Amino acid sequence: MYQSDITQFINQLKEQKPSLEEEQRRGRALLWDKQPIDLDERGQQQKSRVNQTPYVYYQNF
């Protein structure tokens, strides 16, 4: 069966470093997988925000 050069490289890499996939999963979990959002807490945070003035650089003193 034909395998491209890239597929052969990846298979070699996995043979040389069996823990590679687990390390990738941990890295993904660290950067991308997020905890579920608590909707009550999120609503409370949005209610407690201070509204921004329409023109930020000018303040009426």
Q: How many structural domains are present in the chain?
A: 1
Between CA 53 and CA 61 the distance in angstroms is 13
61 domain residue, yes or no: no
37 domain residue, yes or no: yes
Six-digit token pair at 25?
A: 């999963």
Query: Which pLDDT band, with edges at 50, 70 and 90, does 56 fall under?
Result: confident
Per-residue pLDDT of 6-52, as tens digits, reads 999 999 999 999 999 999 999 999 888 888 889 999 999 999 998 87
30 domain residue, yes or no: yes
What pTM value is reported for the model? 0.48
Domain that holds residue 28: 5-48
Contact 59, 53 (CB under 8 A): yes
What is the amino acid identity at position 9?
F
53 domain residue, yes or no: no
60 domain residue, yes or no: no
20 domain residue, yes or no: yes
54 domain residue, yes or no: no
